[in-house]
Amino acid sequence: MLVKEIITEAAVRVNLAPQRNPYPTVVENGFRLLKGIINKYNSDNLLNWTQNSVIIPKSNLIHIYDNTDYLKGKYNLYFDTEDELNAYSLTEEDYNHNVWAIVKDKPNVYYTVTQSGGFLWQYHNATEPYSQRYQEMKRYEAMTHVQVRDVAKINSIYVISNNGQPYKEYYNLNFVNHTDFDKFTNTSRVFTYTQKSEGEWLIELKPLFFTGDYRLKLNYNEAIIFDEDINTEWFIPDNYVELLIVALAHKLALEFPRIDESQMARLEKEVTVLVDNVRTPKSVERNLLRKNYWEQYGRMTQSQLLSGEWL
């Protein structure tokens, strides 16, 4: 279905499209409102066709990125060896932008650009207390960087065993708020994340909670990419088409009042019913308030009890 068709049908239902040809202002605002509706519903896990998953390597710092890499730092460079550093051709632009570099096999060292008959790397010993920029660069260097397309929301992370033991093939990690992450022990089965930019996330896991041959399964919602062409064709389930039309009609009716109060009330009720209809199959996705004292992995340890991991 074309994006324009969704906007037109929504406009027709609230008397904003004479002869199915809505005014340009209505189309422009309808496109803007439709973006907001879809982003909200996707964040609320209402759009099941956006759900996806990917297998990623285990690490206590995982950088998920797509088109942007904000964490790297615009004027920070990273090299594996000193030979790679020396092979890099410095320019006046690097000097003007105060470029820094670090080398993986040179701990506690960073380099800046100096001008002396040309542009050269200048060696610096990093000493405590480390500058914020150096700390950020070293943290970025320690991350596992994984490119994943259009991650709009992270839903869950599962640990997957590669050792062929089916009874321990999958178990999920518990999400905790970033502000609470440090109170958990290094063996806790918890994770947290921070969105750094559009499609870019930093996932943090405790470094010692699992050993052996494991990987991670990341479950997430894909972002819906909006072109500025309203003739873009979307391939989405039919029941979601009706939801988007009615939700957009409601938003348009609020912005361009053309219907009476009783019609508005019926429209609001219809939106609620359609949202409930797509939410009902997801009723199993509810917060887990407590866990059994005994699980297949054994009784809780003292650290798990103190950290609250098994609440």
Altogether, the residues listed in the chain come to a count of: 311
The residues near 304 (Cβ < 8 Å, ≥ 6 apart) are 185, 187, 188, 310
Q: Mean pLDDT across the chain, nearest whole number?
A: 86
Which among 22-26, 91-95, 113-117 has the top mean pLDDT?
A: 91-95
Percentage above 90 pLDDT, the chain: 63
How high is the pLDDT of residue 164? 54
Under a CB-based contact definition with an 8 Å cutoff, are residues 214 and 170 in contact?
A: no
Instruction: Give the pLDDT mean for 126-145.
Output: 95
CA distance 5 to 20: 9
* pTM for this entry: 0.80
Q: Residue 107 contacts by C-beta under 8 Å, 6 or more apart in sequence?
A: none
Split at pLDDT 50, 70, 90, the class of 66 is very high
pLDDT tens-digit profile of 211-221? 677 889 999 99
Q: Is the predicted pLDDT of residue 291 greater than 80, yes or no?
A: no
pLDDT surpasses 50 at 100: yes
Helix/strand/coil (H/E/C) assignment for every residue in 12-61: HHCCCCHHHCCCHHHHHHHHHHHHHHHHHHHHCCCCHHHEEEEEEECCCE
Q: Give me the mean pLDDT over the 220-237 stretch.
A: 81
Q: Say if residue 306's pLDDT is above 80.
A: no
Rounded to whole angstroms, the Cα distance separating 43 from 68 reads 20
Distance CA 19, CA 74 (A): 51
* Domains of the chain, residue spans: 3-47+224-282, 48-70+143-223, 76-141
- The predicted pLDDT at position 103 comes to 97
Strand order in the sheet with 170-172: 51-57, 214-222, 151-161, 170-172
| Selected residue with higher pLDDT from 19 and 13 | 13
Across the range 120-134, mean pLDDT stands at 94
Using a pLDDT cut of 70, give the percent of the chain over it: 86
Instruction: Provide the pLDDT for residue 280.
Output: 66
Q: Return the pLDDT at 289.
A: 45
* pLDDT-wise least confident of 99-103, 115-119, 256-260, 305-309: 305-309
In this prediction, residues 162-174 reach a mean pLDDT of: 67
Weakest mean pLDDT among 53-67, 131-145, 155-169, 234-248: 155-169
Is pLDDT at 286 greater than 60 in this prediction? no
Tell me if the bond preceding 129 is cis, omega within 30° of 0.
yes
Angstrom CA distances, 221 to 39, 226, 248, 298, stand at 11, 15, 21, 32
Asked whether 80 and 104 are in contact (CB, 8 A), the reply is yes
The pLDDT tens digits of the residues spanning 256-284 come to 988 899 999 999 999 999 999 888 665 44
**For 197-207, what is each residue's pLDDT tens digit?**
999 999 999 98
Amino acid at 34: L
What tens digit of pLDDT does each residue of 25-43 get?
A: 888 899 999 999 999 999 9
Task: State both tokens at 228.
Answer: 């500025």
Residue 294 above 70 pLDDT? Answer: no
